[in-house]
Amino acid sequence: MMSRLIAALAVTLIVALLPSAAMAHKLREQGVAVSIADSPLTVTPGRDWNRLDGNVGKHTETWTLDGGQLNDLTFFAGIEPGKPLVRERSKKREPLPKFGAGTLLVELPELFEATYRTAKQIADFRVTDVQPTRFLGQDGVMFTYEYVDQDQLTRKGEAHAAIVAGRLYMIGFDAPRLHYFERNIGDFHRIVQSARMS
Amino acid sequence: MRQGFALPPQSGKTILVLRPSVRVAEQSTGGMAEPRAEWTDQARRHIDAALVELQRQLGNRVIAAPEAYGEDARLVAEHQALFAAVSRAVIEYQFFVGNRLPTKKRDNKAGQFDWSLGPDVAKLPGADQADYALFLYTDDQYGSTGRKMLQIVGLVAGVGVSSGVHAGYAGLVDLKTGDLLWLNADFQMGGDVREADGAMKRVRQLLEDFPGSTIAKEAAAPAATAQAKP
């Protein structure tokens, strides 16, 4: 049964690859500084990670260890005023809230929550903590959250954000509340601490 | 199967069979899955009955998980949801060779199968009386062909996709570590779970390679025809 699935997917893959470049998830090596989404933001991971092919929006990158379902580390690297955090599926039917020139640090958890509710089509989302922090060498905000996704699994998350030269820089980590969040929150903190503007 | 794991028949090990997690929905043109309670109830009854029939052939001692209430019930449901998420990750990033994660490529070359639900499985009701837990999960969405194609293209492109339309996962989990020891998972399974025959076919497919079991594969010809249906 599995071989048939793989065969079917392989055929689909070949067809899908014809017009475009090969898809591939890229290795992000321990100790090697990398810039994020062609922005001035660089991080130096404390262990090997995978950068997933594709992105959820302009100026974003998603990294994982075991797959997006189990650990999702997303960088928002310089969201411009007037733009949403992630790509809008439909500007008319499902508009996303926008980061604005007047958006305050303290309003970022709300922007994040509203984005998740619409983009992921979830009803159950709670911000569980909001704290001032230092991020990228300046005043920032750290917040934690918990939500139930479409797959009925409860996930926990934490994000660190700052506004630099009018643009939003944020790193968030989401993982299932069971096992996965606690197992890798330390690896996420290492990345947050390593974040610099070049 | 996890490296180094073997489960011969009559090994003296006990398998805790969790009540299968069953969901049947109708897929709207927009792609949203709309749960259908009556289909889900029918499927649950048929799958439970099929499992009672087939679990006798698993080859080892089997106990049914006790009925769970309150906090216990929540813990079981959350583990089942996690089992499904891990199964989806295994299908997308390990079974689908072209989509493997660079950090796991070395493991994959060495034939490693290294996935876990974590040690909280030891808190599941009935876990103290068994060595392993058998998880069964089915998620069916009866919907449009166009939607199915979109999901496959999405999967290949590596963007987030929902689980597919006739997904079934069966997994054996070590009740001390949470490690996944054996997994049979597929986004496209046979058998219409809303009917007794189809549910039996589904559960048989899910358990046909179970280590130590005597569950025979279905006769090849009719099964192949039936499974080829979208």
B4: burial class by Cβ within 10 Å (0-12, 13-18, 19+)? exposed
- Name the pTM for this structure: 0.86
**A64 contact residues in B (CB cutoff 8 A):** 101
With respect to residue A15, please indicate whether it lies within any of the assigned structural domains.
no
The residue of chain A with its CA nearest to that of B155 is A9
The CA-atom distances, in angstroms, between A183 and each of A187, B52, B118 are 9, 36, 9
- Decide if pLDDT at B219 tops 60: no
Inter-chain contacts counted by CB atoms under 8 A, chains A and B:
117
The CA-atom distances, in angstroms, between A69 and each of A14, A45, B85 are 25, 20, 6
- State pLDDT tens for residues A97-148: 999 999 999 999 999 999 999 999 998 999 999 999 999 999 999 999 999 9
Q: In what side-by-side order are the strands of the sheet with A26-28?
A: A26-28, A49-51, A60-64, A72-79, A167-176, A154-164, A138-148, A125-135
Flag if A154 and B88 touch (Cβ within 8 Å). no
- State pLDDT tens for residues B78-110: 999 999 999 999 999 988 888 999 998 877 777
Domain boundaries, chain B: 14-228
With respect to residue A7, please indicate whether it lies within any of the assigned structural domains.
no
Q: Which domain holds residue A167?
A: 25-197
What pLDDT is attached to residue B228?
Answer: 37
Flag if B85 and A178 touch (Cβ within 8 Å). no
What pLDDT is attached to residue B201?
Answer: 95
Choose the closest CB to B102 out of A4, A50, A54: A50
Q: Looking at the 3D structure of chain A, how many domains does it have?
A: 1
pLDDT over 90, % of chain B: 59
With respect to residue A139, please indicate whether it lies within any of the assigned structural domains.
yes
With respect to residue A18, please indicate whether it lies within any of the assigned structural domains.
no
- State pLDDT tens for residues B16-33: 999 999 999 988 766 777
What pLDDT is attached to residue B159?
Answer: 56
HSE-CB of A72 using CA atoms within 13 angstroms: 20
Flag if B117 and A50 touch (Cβ within 8 Å). no
The tens place of each residue's pLDDT in chain A, 198 residues long, gives 445 555 555 544 444 443 334 468 999 999 999 999 999 999 999 999 999 998 999 999 999 999 999 999 999 999 999 999 999 988 888 899 999 999 999 999 999 999 999 999 998 999 999 999 999 999 999 999 999 998 999 999 999 999 999 999 999 999 999 999 999 999 999 999 999 998
Tell which residue, B195, B104, B102, B91, has the closest CA to residue B152: B91
Asked if B212 and B11 count as a contact pair (C-beta separation under 8 A), the reply is yes
Here the CATH number for the domain that contains residue A114 is: 3.40.1000.10
- State pLDDT tens for residues B174-218: 999 999 999 999 888 888 999 999 999 999 999 998 998 988 776
What pLDDT is attached to residue B101?
Answer: 93
Predicted ipTM? 0.87
The average pLDDT across B144-171 equals: 66
Q: Would an 8 Å CB–CB cutoff place A13 in contact with chain B?
A: yes
Asked if A71 and A175 count as a contact pair (C-beta separation under 8 A), the reply is yes
**Strands B132-142, B166-174: pairing kind:** antiparallel
| Confidence class for position B157, pLDDT limits 50, 70, 90 | low
User: What's the per-residue H, E or C state across chain A?
Assistant: CHHHHHHHHHHHHHHHHCCCCCCCCEEECCCCCEECCCCCEEECCCCCEEECCCCCCCCEEEEECCCCCCCEEEEEEEECCCECCCCCCCCCCCCCCCECCCCCHHHHHHHHHHHHHHHCCCCCEEEEEEEEEEECCEEEEEEEEEEECCCCCEEEEEEEEEEECCEEEEEEEEEECCCHHHHHHHHHHHHHHHCEEC
More confident residue, A177 or B229: A177
Q: Would an 8 Å CB–CB cutoff place B107 in contact with chain A?
A: no
- Measured distance CA(B54)–CA(A194) in Å, rounded: 54
**A70 contact residues in B (CB cutoff 8 A):** 85-86, 89
Choose the closest CB to B120 out of A4, A53, A178: A178
With respect to residue A4, please indicate whether it lies within any of the assigned structural domains.
no
With respect to residue A43, please indicate whether it lies within any of the assigned structural domains.
yes
Tell which residue, B90, B98, B103, has the closest CA to residue B181: B90
Across chain B, what does the average pLDDT equal?
Answer: 85
The one-letter code for the residue type at B127 is A
What pLDDT is attached to residue B158?
Answer: 60
More confident residue, B54 or B105: B54
The CA-atom distances, in angstroms, between A115 and each of A96, A118, A123, B60 are 6, 5, 12, 49
